Amino acid sequence: MELELESILLPGIEEKRPLVIAGPCSAETEEQVMDTARQLAAKGMKIFRAGIWKPRTKPGGFEGVGVEGLAWLKEVKKETGMYVSTEVATAKHVYECLKAGIDILWVGARTTANPFAVQEIADALKGVDIPVLVKNPVNPDLELWIGAMERINNAGLKRLGAIHRGFSSYDKKLYRNLPQWHIPIELRRRIPNLPIICDPSHIGGKRELVAPLCQQAMDLGFNGLIVESHCNPDCAWSDAAQQVTPDVLDYILNLLVIRKETQSTENLSELRKQIDECDNNLIQELAKRMRIAREIGTYKKEHDMTILQTGRYNEILEKRGSQGSLCGMDSEFIKKVFEAIHEESVRQQMEIINK
């Protein structure tokens, strides 16, 4: 299914990478919201974020200030002219946000993982024209992520974007949420005109990782960044370790190298021709290898031998794995390639045996 999409850019927002959304994890007090917003606006930020309702892993944590905070966001809009955005998880949140004039809504990772909740939000949004950003679900499930966007799209909302915030994992050694870049990359391949916004704060979980993650997202050609920024990060009521001051955020953004999205140049075409030639050779060699494998299949049939010979299979994986590594490739990668080749050989030999 295709999504019917329109631009998420609001009047006055330039079509320039990265589109930046910045603000605290949570709205805590009117003072904290206004102080952070003023500093961000002074740095030229155009879209403010702040969580009003916070889905917390355990009860007892700070669960957000609730509707009271929406008035502070209204004030941010009035005083700084920034657009304001927040997370919605229920139909009630949607109604409250629309009443308060919130400009952009986002669906959080825990909500995206729950189709009932997403449907409820989609139903509440029927007939409303507002940009909605959908965070990836906590689990690495691209279909569930796309499905959530389809539900909202089916309700008539066309201004959609995806937020890549990483995927939960038991291993928290480096990242809070594993980036698994291949998932947003596949999303881009499947829905090329869907804007992808990276959330380095929730992927990294720590300040030091914000800059390198922003750069990686830009190197992949993603459209925007949503970054948690707080006037006093160490004292934040939620996600303190990953928030940066507006000054630091401005510094990080200024250092980003933004590469052109040009798809091709003359030199690149020349190199791509060479790649095409390699791919041609690979296919021909593979076809030749399969012909020999079929001959082996016939031989095994005639001599009543089993197709699968684990000793030989292991020998191929080991030998080619170390050879690949000597040639500067990851041996695990080469093993995967040969596993796939071997699987196809076995399939072809089965055909011969069962003829």
**Which parts of this chain interact with ligand PEP (CB under 6 A)?**
25, 51, 55, 87, 108-109, 135, 165, 202
Classify 12 as helix, strand or coil.
coil
CA distance 178 to 165: 9
Amino acid at 342: H
Nearer to ligand PEP, 136 or 153 (CB): 136
CA distance 312 to 333: 19
Amino acid at 125: L
Partners of 161 in the β-ladder = 133
Q: Which residue is nearest to ligand PEP (CB)?
A: 108
Check if the beta carbon of residue 71 is closer than 8 Å to that of residue 89.
no
Residue 211 contacts which entry, ligand PEP, Mn ion, none (Cβ below 5-8 A, type-dependent): none
* Residue with token string 């060699």: 285
Partners of 26 in the β-ladder = 51
Nearer to ligand PEP, 51 or 324 (CB): 51
Residue 165 contacts which entry, Mn ion, ligand PEP, none (Cβ below 5-8 A, type-dependent): ligand PEP
Secondary structure (DSSP) of 96-164: HHHHHT-SEEEE-HHHHT-HHHHHHHHHHHTT----EEEEPPSSS-HHHHHHHHHHHHHTT---EEEEE
244 φ, ψ (degrees, to nearest 5):
-125, 155
Residue 108 contacts which entry, ligand PEP, Mn ion, none (Cβ below 5-8 A, type-dependent): ligand PEP
Residue 135 contacts which entry, ligand PEP, Mn ion, none (Cβ below 5-8 A, type-dependent): ligand PEP
Nearer to Mn ion, 124 or 244 (CB): 244
Q: In whole angstroms, how close is the CB of 125 to Mn ion at the nearest point?
A: 23
Nearer to ligand PEP, 51 or 200 (CB): 51
Residue 188 contacts which entry, ligand PEP, Mn ion, none (Cβ below 5-8 A, type-dependent): none
Q: In whole angstroms, how close is the CB of 55 to ligand PEP at the nearest point?
A: 6
Nearer to Mn ion, 24 or 195 (CB): 24
Q: Which residue is nearest to Mn ion (CB)?
A: 25
Contacting residues toward Mn ion, per CB under 5 A = 25, 239
Q: In whole angstroms, how close is the CB of 56 to ligand PEP at the nearest point?
A: 9
Nearer to ligand PEP, 62 or 313 (CB): 62
- Reported as type and span, the H/E element at residue 228 is strand 224-228
Max CA separation in the chain (angstroms) = 85
